[in-house]
Amino acid sequence: MQRYFVPPEQMSEQDVRITGEDVKHIAKVMRLKSGDKIICLNNQGRQTLCEITSMETNVVTAVVLKELHEQAELPVSITIAQSLVKGDKLEFVIQKGTELGASSFYLYSGERSVVKWESSKVKKKLERLRKIAKEAAEQAERLFVPDVLYYHSTEMMLEKSFSFDAAVYLYEEQARHGQHHDLADVLHPMPSSILAVIGPEGGISEKEAVAWKSSGCRAVSLGPRILRSETAPLYLLSALSYHYEILR
C-alpha cells in the first residue's frame, strides 16, 4: 500500500489533507481513486490507514480508518556524518542510508574532500536530498524521515558530538593497523544514540583525527578492506541491523 508523509498540521484525528507533489503521485503515477486506501504518516510517530474521499487538482482528502502501530525503525538512533562526495554519490548515501534505517544525516566538507558547496546552492541541494530521504523512507516503510543537515564548519559539527550517547569516526588507519574490535565494544551495551563520522574520498586527515578524538569520538574500523566513502555508512548501518535486529 502506498505511504505518504504529510505535514502534521494537515492530519487531524479524523482526516488528512494531502497537498504538493504527492497529489500528482496519487492521481497520475498511482492512478488511485476515491475509495482507495493509503497509509498516511505525520513524521512524529503517527501512522494511519486512510481511505481517499475526494480528489481535486491540488488536494487529496482522506478519512482516517485506523491507527497503525507496527513500525520498522532501527532500535538505535544513528546519525551519519558524511563528508561531501562527488556527483550523485551523496544522493546514493541518503537514499540507501535511509532504506537501511539512519535517523539523520549531517553533511560536512572534510579537509581532503574534493567537493565544496557554494553557500548560495546549499538550500537547493538540501531540498533535493530531503525529498530523496522522504521517498526512501516511504518506500522502506519507515515511521520517520531522516533529517538532512549541512554544517558549514566542522567545529560546529564537532560540538554536536557531545549530545550523543556514543560517537565514533570510521578511520581507515584503524583498519590498516588491524584494530577491528572497537565497533563491537561501542555496540555493547547498546547506546541510545550514535554519531558516526565518515571521511571523504581522500580519507580523514591526521589533524581531523586528532580533532575528532578530542571531541570524544572513538576511532573504529570496519574491517580489513578499505571502502569507498559512500560504502562505509551502508556497511555500518547493515552491521547495526544485523547486530540488533537479526542476531537477537
Under the binding rule (CB under 6 A), the answer on residue 175 touching ligand SAH is yes
Q: Is 82 in the site for ligand SAH (CB under 6 A)?
A: no
Q: Which amino acid belongs to residue 68?
A: L
Q: 225-244: which residues touch ligand SAH (CB under 6 A)?
A: 225-227, 229, 232
> 47 or 82: whose CB is closer to ligand SAH?
82
Query: Is the Cβ–Cβ distance between 101 and 142 less than 8 Å?
Result: yes
Closest distance to ligand SAH from the beta carbon of 214 (Å)? 18
Grid coordinates belonging to 191: 547506546
User: Which position among 63, 65, 202, 245 is part of the footprint of ligand SAH (CB under 6 A)?
Assistant: 202
Residue 151's SS3 state is: coil
Cβ distance to ligand SAH smaller for residue 3 or 160:
160
Nearest distance in Å: CB 207, ligand SAH: 13
Does position 157 bind ligand SAH by CB under 6 A? no
Which C-beta is closer to ligand SAH: that of 85 or that of 129? 85
- Cα–Cα dist 69/204, whole Å: 42
Is-contact 109 83, C-beta < 8 A?
yes
Is the CB of 4 or the CB of 199 nearer to ligand SAH? 199
172: contact with ligand SAH by CB under 6 A: yes
Q: CB of 171 within 8 A of CB of 209?
A: yes
Pick between residue 57 and residue 214 the one whose CB is nearest to ligand SAH.
214
For residue 190 the three cell numbers come to: 547498546
Cβ count near 44 (within 10 Å): 9
Of 48 and 174, the one with the shorter C-beta distance to ligand SAH is 174
Q: What are the start-end ranges of the H helices in the chain?
A: 21-24, 89-99, 119-139, 154-160, 172-176, 182-187, 206-214, 232-241
As beta bridge partners, residue 38 has 50
Site membership for ligand SAH, residue 168 (CB under 6 A)? no
Residues in the interface with ligand SAH (CB under 6 A) total 18
Closer CB to ligand SAH, 26 or 222, in the complex = 222
Strand-pair partners of 78: 194
Among 171, 186, 215, 234, binds ligand SAH (CB under 6 A): 171
- According to DSSP, the residues that pair with 113 across neighbouring strands are none
Listed in sequence order, the residues at least 6 apart from 210 whose beta carbon sits closer than 8 Å to its beta carbon are none
Q: Which residues bind ligand SAH (CB under 6 A)?
A: 170-172, 175, 198-199, 201-204, 221-223, 225-227, 229, 232
